[in-house]
């Protein structure tokens, strides 16, 4: 997936969104079909590489498509990612019920059916034409990646995606082992976090027309410092739940608004920018949850989650610097 999101973004600029998105969904479906029908454990494990490539390609392509066609990137990208929050909230519940009363293969069969219908729907859509007059995205990648604003957005994506993934993976373990809370309450807190992501993105849909993208990023990162600290340092179950729920709300806008700002800065290379930023996010998703696991093995999950506050602080400093750069650019104009 790491390589897929980066190259899919550049391919979107080079050959168009249609081919990239349809190829990504097709690979995703093929991977799910093989996984669902094979009896070989080694093949099932290996096929997730294909599924990951398909997912990463689709993810990068869809975000790039919205960014390239939208008149209000912040509002539309937050609206797109609102549905991720809805999926994170409802998906595990529906999957759990289906596995409990039926079996996991039926779950995958239903998922494959939905993806095939989605592939048909996306095939019928109209897509923007590829701009032929610009410099090749392959040649522009390094110059775009080394821009100060892009580096700062990359840090925000790395820290947010890594921290958010770590929370999703470790909240249950942390609450049941460290605070000795019930599995039900731990699952409820995780649900509140996911609900916060959906609610926060829906809120930003309406305020993105009134505030600059940099200020929205700064507000979300800064407020999450307090809510996350509340969640990981408190010993009161209610305060912990409120802390994680608010962290979901404040985290909500960081990914879609980072994409909105990056593609606004480089409107001719929305695919390359999207792929690059999601690549930074994928690096964070790979590294930070593992770091929490290593720390948890040696010092406990509480310390592991507290270390993530360093990433949130770094994200806040990056957003602050980004805001200053945007103000300086506005003054020069």
Distances (CA, A) of 41 to 34, 36, 209, 246: 11, 11, 50, 40
For tokens 């701009």, name the residue.
131
Quick one: DSSP state of residue 177? Answer: I
Max CA-CA distance within the chain?
A: 63
Handedness of CA 26, 31, 36, 37 (dihedral sign): positive
User: What is the pLDDT, as a whole number, of residue 231?
Assistant: 95
Q: Cβ contacts of residue 183 below 8 Å, gap of 6+?
A: 172, 176
The alpha helices in the chain, defined as continuous H runs, are 2-15, 17-37, 41-69, 73-101, 104-123, 137-145, 148-173, 183-207, 213-233, 237-251, 254-265, 270-299, 301-332
User: What is the pLDDT, as a whole number, of residue 133?
Assistant: 52
This prediction has a pTM of 0.89
User: What is the pLDDT, as a whole number, of residue 140?
Assistant: 76
Going by C-alpha positions, the residue among 233, 278, 333 that lies closest to residue 2 is: 278
pLDDT tens, 68-84? 888 889 999 999 999 88
pLDDT tens, 132-171? 655 566 667 778 888 999 999 999 999 999 999 999 999 9
Residue 24 CA from chain centroid, whole number: 17
Token code pair at residue 285: 């998703």
Q: Which domains does the chain have, with CATH numbers?
A: 2-125+140-332 (1.20.1250.20)
User: What is the pLDDT, as a whole number, of residue 124?
Assistant: 92
Q: What is the DSSP string of 58-104?
A: HHHHHHHHHHHH-SSHHHHHHHHHHHHHHHHHHHHHHHHHHHHHS-H
Regions of the chain with pLDDT less than 50: 333
User: What is the pLDDT, as a whole number, of residue 333?
Assistant: 47
Q: What is the DSSP string of 239-286?
A: HHHHHHHHHHHHHTTHHHHHHHHHHHHSGGGHHHHHHHHHHHHHHHHH
Burial class (CB in 10 A: 0-12, 13-18, 19+), 264: middle
User: What is the pLDDT, as a whole number, of residue 132?
Assistant: 63
Going by C-alpha positions, the residue among 244, 199, 194 that lies closest to residue 87 is: 194
Distances (CA, A) of 13 to 61, 157, 263, 282, 295: 10, 21, 12, 20, 41
User: What is the pLDDT, as a whole number, of residue 137?
Assistant: 67
Q: Cβ contacts of residue 306 below 8 Å, gap of 6+?
A: 232, 233
């Amino acid at each position: 997936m790491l390589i897929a999101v980066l190259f899919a973004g550049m391919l979107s600029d080079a050959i168009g969104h249609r081919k990239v998105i349809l190829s990504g969904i097709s690979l995703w479906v093929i991977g799910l079909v093989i996984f669902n029908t094979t009896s070989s454990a080694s093949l099932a494990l290996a096929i997730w590489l294909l599924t990951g490539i398909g997912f990463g390609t689709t993810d990068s392509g869809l975000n790039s498509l919205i960014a390239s066609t939208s008149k209000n990137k912040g509002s539309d990208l937050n609206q797109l990612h609102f549905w991720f929050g809805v999926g994170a909230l409802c998906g595990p519940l529906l999957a759990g019920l289906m596995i409990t009363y039926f079996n996991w293969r039926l779950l995958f069969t239903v998922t494959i059916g939905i993806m095939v219908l989605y592939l048909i729907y996306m095939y019928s859509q109209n897509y923007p034409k590829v701009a032929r007059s610009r410099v090749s995205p392959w040649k522009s990648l390094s110059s775009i990646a080394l821009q100060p604003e892009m580096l700062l957005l990359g840090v925000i994506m790395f820290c947010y995606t890594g921290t958010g993934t770590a929370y999703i993976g470790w909240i249950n373990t942390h609450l049941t082992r460290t605070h000795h809370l019930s599995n039900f309450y731990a699952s409820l807190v995780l649900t509140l976090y996911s609900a916060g992501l959906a609610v926060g993105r829906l809120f930003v849909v309406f305020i993105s027309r009134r505030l600059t993208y940099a200020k929205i990023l700064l507000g979300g990162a800064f407020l999450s410092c307090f809510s996350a600290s509340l969640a990981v340092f408190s010993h009161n179950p209610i305060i912990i739940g409120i802390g994680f729920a608010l962290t979901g709300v404040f985290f909500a806008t960081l990914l879609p608004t980072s994409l909105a700002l990056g593609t606004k800065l480089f409107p001719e290379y929305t695919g390359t920018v999207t792929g690059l930023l999601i690549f930074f996010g994928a690096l964070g998703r790979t590294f930070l949850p593992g770091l929490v696991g290593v720390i948890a093995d040696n010092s406990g999950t509480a310390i592991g989650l507290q270390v993530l506050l360093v990433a949130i602080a770094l994200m806040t400093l990056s957003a602050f610097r980004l805001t200053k750069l945007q103000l300086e650019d506005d003054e020069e104009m």
